[in-house]
């Protein structure tokens, strides 16, 4: 059930996200205070500037050098400096705790981790809180074929079948528009509520 991701509208960026689990995780990390598809293009921008996308290379690069690379226009994010530091910290964390194997977050251990355990591991990542971790777990389940027992429940409403709440539900321009409409309605309801 591992489908070719169509999150950004850019073939190269989507291919990187489909092929590299760390790139996908970085896209999720960047997904705040900017448009979803722009956030998920961030890893491709990094790859273009580093002659490829490598978790080890990112972790081993001096943090200030990496920040400079990320804030060079077009920056990877509206808040390029702080987000670059988060990306660097995320790379270091995965290198130190998972030997640089991003997929180990959801595959390593005996017994194989279930949905609540994967959620717990995601929440322990630098820059990931409860909501971001749940959305990423839903993205793994809905689009990457990562189906640990209890993943839908652990992902909460983001795991619901047929929902249009988050990047986990984006598979085309149409679904991106539906997710954007859902978010806009939810914001409006929160303001009036």
Considering the entire predicted model, what is its pTM?
Answer: 0.95
Residues of the domain holding 32: 11-192
The verdict on residue 183 lying in a domain is yes
Distance CA 118, CA 98 (A): 13
For residue 75, the domain's CATH number is 1.10.340.30
Q: What is the pLDDT along the chain (193 residues), one digit of tens a residue?
A: 577 999 999 999 999 999 999 999 999 999 999 999 999 999 999 999 999 999 999 999 999 999 999 999 999 999 999 999 999 999 999 999 999 999 999 999 888 999 999 999 999 999 999 999 999 999 999 999 999 999 999 999 999 999 999 999 999 999 999 999 999 998 888 888 6
CA 105 to chain centroid: 13
* Burial tier of 156 (Cβ tally within 10 Å: 0-12, 13-18, 19+): middle
Residue 3 lies in a domain: no
> Exposure of 68 by Cβ count < 10 A (0-12 exposed, 13-18 middle, 19+ buried)?
middle
Residue with tokens 């490598």: 54
* Domain presence at residue 4: no
- 6, part of any domain: no
- The phi, psi pair for 113, rounded to 5°, reads -60, 140
Kindly state whether residue 113 falls inside one of the protein's structural domains: yes
Q: How many structural domains does the chain have? A: 1
């Amino acid at each position: 059930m591992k489908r070719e991701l169509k999150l950004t509208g850019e073939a190269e960026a989507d291919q990187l996200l489909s092929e590299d689990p760390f790139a996908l995780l970085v896209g999720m990390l960047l997904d705040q205070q900017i448009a979803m598809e722009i956030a998920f293009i961030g890893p491709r921008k990094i790859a273009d500037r580093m002659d490829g996308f490598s978790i080890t290379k990112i972790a081993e690069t001096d943090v200030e050098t990496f920040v400079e690379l990320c804030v060079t226009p077009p920056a990877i994010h509206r808040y390029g400096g702080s987000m670059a530091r988060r990306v660097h910290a995320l790379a270091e964390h995965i290198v130190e705790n998972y030997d640089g194997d991003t997929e180990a977050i959801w595959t390593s251990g005996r017994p194989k981790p279930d949905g609540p355990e994967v959620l717990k591991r995601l929440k322990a990542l630098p820059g990931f809180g409860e909501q971001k971790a749940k959305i990423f777990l839903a993205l793994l389940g809905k689009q990457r074929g990562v189906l640990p027992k209890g993943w839908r429940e652990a992902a909460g409403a983001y795991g619901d079948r047929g929902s249009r709440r988050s990047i986990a539900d984006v598979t085309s321009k149409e679904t991106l528009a539906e997710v954007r409409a859902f978010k806009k309605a939810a914001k409006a309801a929160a303001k009036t509520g």
